[in-house]
Structure 1
Amino acid sequence: MFKVLTHNIFQKECVIIGKFEPLMAFYFIKRFDLLAHINEDYLDSRGGFRASLFQNKENKEFILAIAGSDLRPLKFDIGDLISDFILLNGKIPKKQFDSLLKFYTLIKKEFCFGKIALVGHSLGGHLAQLFVLDFALEVQNIYTFQAPGIAKKILKDIKNEAYIQKISYHFHTCGDFKKMHGINLILFKICILK
């Protein structure tokens, strides 16, 4: 999955988003249980929101994986495109964020977990960052991959800023991909748009 999320589109190697290689899938299934899922086909999903709740079989950690924009021709979702446009204009993609909050409330009630890890790619990473601003003390860690930051006007009166900075990791591929075995990762704290 990390390979898919950090893939350099300029390399000739093809990594299909949304598909695992068989060995990758085997190890993923061996290590994690899928407990809950929501996608655009569910009534509680607005604006194209998609997420899955996993549990690590070894340490029992709960992980909420929030999907990014799905702009594939066969599964194109106009809701994702609209949400991308909204967030790039410095506003909150309300429909998707409200869906995230509703889904979180449902899974929290059903599975009674303490803290949760958040993972998000692109739009999903942006939603994870928004979530942690309001629910920082319920989040163990947040990992985002190639996610847009949060506009400064949204970041008014951040509560628990020191804790958020401590638990937040943003990965972004950039620069010379020949460095570090083909992937150049830069570690950020919560990414803020200027």
Structure 2
Amino acid sequence: MNNKQQINRLRDNAELAWAAYGYFHFANPNYDFNKDEIDKERLKHFRDIKRDELIKQNPNTTDQELQNTYPTHTDILNMEYKHFRDEKTGKLKDSFFDDKLFDGDFTPTQAKNFFEHYELLEYCPNTDSGFSATLFKDTKADSKDSEYILSFRGTEFKLEQIQDLLNDYYIGTNNSDMNRVIEQYFDMLLFYEETLKPLLQEKGIAKINVIGHSLGGYLAQLFALSYPSIINEVYTYNTSLESKSVA
């Protein structure tokens, strides 16, 4: 592999680590937006944004069609839907203390290109411990072993995700103490054993890549140590080294 190919591979995997921060459950039409007031507002706000676009495309768009409009995976990553807008002023509500719409950070073109390249197969939204991960399929992979990628979400800097910050502190100060492994590790094992393992076995997949940024990178290393026989490659970004055996 030449330098350009190495750089492109690092870039692509960094993008996959970045995509793991997406709240993809909002793209599931079966998700109950009414169970939470802020989620209910998210769907309403998104439909308000989409209304003008849909009517411009088709002036005969009905109210029923608008009610059947849900965010796509591309919308979730698209920074155009990162923040709510103030209904009176039209300004973005983008302070640290404001609730986010979908909190995506990809440009519109980047988000579109990403989901033309990758297919989202499985997604684990935040558990009580804060664990979240996504299984992607690379539709343009150059080998079967690099076709499936498990990407772990990193630290979320939100007040309600204080557990992430505590986990980061623990990793940074006690990362050799495996007797006190973080709760997210057990949720990771559960996600793999109950959801991913049966899927990979059904598809005859023997190897996968694992990726993560920050806390997600630490979890990627723990996953590689826990399931070494299925690991093709490990990519981590801005994280601590769990074990020299991963390097």
TM value normalised by structure 1: 0.64
* Counterpart position of 2:230: 138
Q: Distance in 1 between matches of 2:105 and 2:164?
A: 19
* 2:154 corresponds to 1:62: no
Residue in structure 1 matching 2:118, options 32, 45, 54: 32
Q: Deviations over 1:104-162 (max 9, x none)?
A: 12211123221110010000001111121222221110000001122xxxx5xx8xx4x
Q: Please say if residues 17 and 152 of structure 2, whose CA atoms lie closer than 8 Å, have aligned partners that are also in contact.
A: no
Q: Deviations over 1:17-54 (max 9, x none)?
A: 842111111110001110111122xxxx2410011000
Local SS of the residue matching 1:89? helix
* Counterpart position of 1:50: 132
Local SS of the residue matching 2:196? helix
Count residues in correspondence. 141
* Counterpart position of 1:177: none
* Counterpart position of 1:78: 162
Q: Please say if residues 46 and 95 of structure 1, whose CA atoms lie closer than 8 Å, have aligned partners that are also in contact.
A: no
Q: CA RMSD in A?
A: 2.7
The alpha-carbon deviation at position 72 of structure 1 amounts to: 3.6
Residue in structure 2 matching 1:128, options 220, 227, 231: 220
Q: Distance in 2 between matches of 1:82 and 1:69?
A: 10
For the structure 1 residues 117 and 3, does the alpha-carbon distance in structure 2 shift closer, same or farther, using more than 3 Å as the test? closer
Name the structure where strand makes up a greater proportion of residues.
1
TM value normalised by structure 2: 0.51
For the structure 1 residues 137 and 85, does the alpha-carbon distance in structure 2 shift closer, same or farther, using more than 3 Å as the test? same
The alpha-carbon deviation at position 85 of structure 1 amounts to: 2.1
Unaligned runs of 5+ in 2: 1-11, 19-78, 83-102
Alignment of 1:90-101 (within 5 A): 90=174, 91-92=177-178, 93-101=181-189
Letter in 1 for 2:140: E
Q: Please say if residues 47 and 83 of structure 1, whose CA atoms lie closer than 8 Å, have aligned partners that are also in contact.
A: no
Larger radius of gyration: 2
